[in-house]
Structure 1
Amino acid sequence: MKSSRLVSLLLLLQTRGRMTAAQLAEELEVSVRTVYRDVEALSAAGVPLYGDAGHAGGYRLLDGYRTRLTGLTAQEAEALFLSGVPGPAAELGLGPVLAAAQLKVRAALPAELRAHADRVAGRFHLDAPGWYTDADDTPYLPAVADAVWRGRVLHVTYRRWREPTDVRRRLEPLGLVLKAGRWYVVAAPGPRTYRVDQILELTPADEDFTRPADFDLAAYWTAYQRDFHRALYRAEALVRLAPGARLTGPAAETAHRTAHPQPDGWTLARVPIESLDHAHAEFLRLGTDIEVLEPAELRARMADTVTELAWRYRTDGDAAT
């Protein structure tokens, strides 16, 4: 819209100083002719904007013309520019909005605080997804976000892990959560948690819903994670860990809490396991730095795997025959 473009033009000049019409056109993604018209509109509105001709010319604002944002400390300005994650914002369809908001805030900051904000932006970059994982395909994320914001009902076809896999659901979306690069929508009734990338079809309903007045998204997510881990890790294993051995996830926390040092320098600990298959794969990563004592079935599977590996890697020259 023209009004938002005029504000952006004004803030660009306020933030960067003198800029040519070509530079402004490139930043605003419009033609130079449009920039000329916008400059005329701002001047007519009383904005003290001047144009200088020549090689070093361009448009500039009268010195001292700015809107100042008061009450921010240097640390608050730094945190403000650290909080913007462009990737997730773009996925939500808010990339341009985030850029515009940061431009407005930066333009309104006093010079000293602007320097602090630029320092953070140049030295810290937030990248939420984990390594070696492809980004989830979430074509319906903007629609879900819109429904969350407007309080509108959604009808979706959702793919779950158990039969029947594809089900129809009526959702009252209460909030979105980004966890390790993956988007989840928390929705009533329940509420329950759904992976946005598992939504196969989505139809916005012409129906509003009443958001529970006492619903706290952050508190719900904390409780959901706690309950999820309790349901996931239903069994436990007794293991011996070599000095320096490192488990991951809930097993690491529990191992530290239940650790019993042994005379040989190893540590005896009980750790939660998701399943025999999962524990088998996870413990094998530690190689000779772990010994499984219980359950007996898991210990036997570890022994069978080690025996097979020893046979496969034997050096007597017979492995290939």
Structure 2
Amino acid sequence: MAKWDNMLSMLWMLRSGRKFTAAQIADSLEISVRTVYRYIDALCASGVPVVAESGHDGGIHILESFKETPLFFNSVELKALVDAFKFTQGAGYPYTEELESALKKVENGLHDEQRHDLSRQTSGLDVISPARPPSVVPLLRDLEQAEKDGRTVLIAYRKENAGQADDREVDPYGLAYDRNEWYVVAFCHRSQAVRTFRVDRIARLEPTEARFEKPERFSASAYFRDQSEREREADGPLTVIRIEGEQDALNAVCGHWHLRHYLKERTDREARFLLDIPTVNKYLPTYLLMFGTAIRIREPLELKIRIREMAHGIAKHYEDDPD
């Protein structure tokens, strides 16, 4: 049995109100007496008032004033919870207040030494959040509620570079957070197809009386992947693209909104992609050229030659320019 399971079993034994000897606890849990005392120390550190009395009527027990079962988090788990909260704040997660409230309940159960250690361990990480319209959080809540209720909503949506928003009825299927932006994947009644809408471009949202049923097992992340697949130039043939380079440059290439779906293998110095040849020929040379000498194409040879020709053409273009 795992340590935390043993500690919880020991706690339930002690909460019965009886007094136990260390040997009785050890026999029941099939652990050593030495381990029993280590668990007593750990329970006390978690705020459980375990008392060990010697003498004829002595034994190990918990003070009657104790009512709650502690949550057994080690220092790294507590740090992970606080850090996760920082990331949700940075993402604009619509339930950060509720998450903060839950986190405070956990922190209130810590003793002073644990609280000080947690503050020290979490002081070195901050998440810089992008500026977002204040309307995004209530919109995310409303869209999520509409998805749960199966209720069609009327939104005023402004496309990129559009002068004004236009109205459309949509059935929200799910929310997705991608590239620092929130999206709702929804069935658009006007286009009669599933579409993605950036939430920060929704100027207004109103529930309607209409109802809908979401497709069974629908996944917003799977929809994004499928859309990326459809944006390929062709179904095949496929070719392996092997790129070597500096870590920061590889991070940028692997994080590209389209290429990341075709990443097959990644090391500190190399990335391998599997992509159709028409897409490779049409888009990749221009995109990869911007990284200059920070990357080097290892495969395929045709891509390497194309980038070399483009670089030579650019150099020649400026060769005869007057200074």
Q: Are the structure 2 counterparts of residues 160 and 106 from structure 1 closer, same or farther at C-alpha, using a change threshold of 3 Å? A: same
User: Which residue is equivalent to 1:285?
Assistant: 291
User: Which residue is equivalent to 1:70?
Assistant: 70
Letter in 1 for 2:124: R
After superposition, residues 126-165 of structure 1 pair within 5 angstroms as 126-127=127-128, 135-137=131-133, 139-149=135-145, 151=149, 152-160=151-159
Q: Are the structure 2 counterparts of residues 156 and 137 from structure 1 closer, same or farther at C-alpha, using a change threshold of 3 Å? A: same
User: Which residue is equivalent to 1:99?
Assistant: 100
Q: Any idea what SS the aligned residue of 1:84 has?
A: helix
Letter in 2 for 1:234: E
Q: Are the structure 2 counterparts of residues 228 and 215 from structure 1 closer, same or farther at C-alpha, using a change threshold of 3 Å? A: same
State yes or no: 1:179 paired with 2:181.
Answer: no
Q: 1:140 touches 1:196 (CA, 8 Å); kept in 2?
A: yes
State yes or no: 1:207 paired with 2:188.
Answer: no
Question: What whole-Å deviation, never above 9, does each CA across 1:214-263 have from its counterpart, x for those lacking one?
Answer: 446xxx233234223323343788988677695512658968769xxxxx
User: Which residue is equivalent to 1:196?
Assistant: 199
Q: 1:137 touches 1:197 (CA, 8 Å); kept in 2?
A: yes
Inter-partner Cα distance in structure 1 for 2:215 and 2:259: 37
Inter-partner Cα distance in structure 2 for 1:240 and 1:79: 35
* TM-score between the two structures when normalised by the length of structure 2: 0.52
Once the two structures are TM-superposed, the CA of residue 269 in structure 1 deviates from its matched residue by 8.8
Inter-partner Cα distance in structure 2 for 1:121 and 1:268: 35
Q: Are the structure 2 counterparts of residues 229 and 69 from structure 1 closer, same or farther at C-alpha, using a change threshold of 3 Å? A: farther
Structure 1 unmatched ranges of 5 or more? 1-63, 259-266, 313-318
Q: 2:174 touches 2:220 (CA, 8 Å); kept in 1?
A: no
CA RMSD of aligned residues (A): 4.9
Once the two structures are TM-superposed, the CA of residue 79 in structure 1 deviates from its matched residue by 2.9
Inter-partner Cα distance in structure 2 for 1:211 and 1:114: 47
Once the two structures are TM-superposed, the CA of residue 96 in structure 1 deviates from its matched residue by 4.3
Q: Are the structure 2 counterparts of residues 135 and 300 from structure 1 closer, same or farther at C-alpha, using a change threshold of 3 Å? A: farther
Q: Are the structure 2 counterparts of residues 119 and 96 from structure 1 closer, same or farther at C-alpha, using a change threshold of 3 Å? A: same
After superposition, residues 15-164 of structure 1 pair within 5 angstroms as 68=68, 70-74=70-74, 75-85=76-86, 88=89, 91=92, 94-110=95-111, 114-115=115-116, 117-127=118-128, 135-137=131-133, 139-149=135-145, 151=149, 152-160=151-159
Inter-partner Cα distance in structure 1 for 2:69 and 2:93: 27
Letter in 1 for 2:186: A
Q: Any idea what SS the aligned residue of 2:72 has?
A: coil
Q: Are the structure 2 counterparts of residues 243 and 285 from structure 1 closer, same or farther at C-alpha, using a change threshold of 3 Å? A: closer
Once the two structures are TM-superposed, the CA of residue 89 in structure 1 deviates from its matched residue by 7.2
Q: Are the structure 2 counterparts of residues 243 and 188 from structure 1 closer, same or farther at C-alpha, using a change threshold of 3 Å? A: closer
Inter-partner Cα distance in structure 1 for 2:187 and 2:212: 10
Q: 1:238 touches 1:270 (CA, 8 Å); kept in 2?
A: yes
Q: 1:283 touches 1:290 (CA, 8 Å); kept in 2?
A: no
Once the two structures are TM-superposed, the CA of residue 202 in structure 1 deviates from its matched residue by 1.6
Once the two structures are TM-superposed, the CA of residue 308 in structure 1 deviates from its matched residue by 2.0
Which of 302, 306, 310 is 2:315 aligned to?
A: 306
Letter in 2 for 1:145: R
Q: Are the structure 2 counterparts of residues 240 and 210 from structure 1 closer, same or farther at C-alpha, using a change threshold of 3 Å? A: closer
Question: What whole-Å deviation, never above 9, does each CA across 1:142-201 have from its counterpart, x for those lacking one?
Answer: 1332241353432113244699996532123343322232111233466543211232x3
Instruction: State the identity %.
Output: 18
Structure 2 unmatched ranges of 5 or more? 1-63
User: Which residue is equivalent to 2:167?
Assistant: 168
Inter-partner Cα distance in structure 1 for 2:296 and 2:185: 39
Letter in 2 for 1:280: T
Once the two structures are TM-superposed, the CA of residue 84 in structure 1 deviates from its matched residue by 0.9
Q: 1:242 touches 1:290 (CA, 8 Å); kept in 2?
A: yes
* Matched residue count: 235
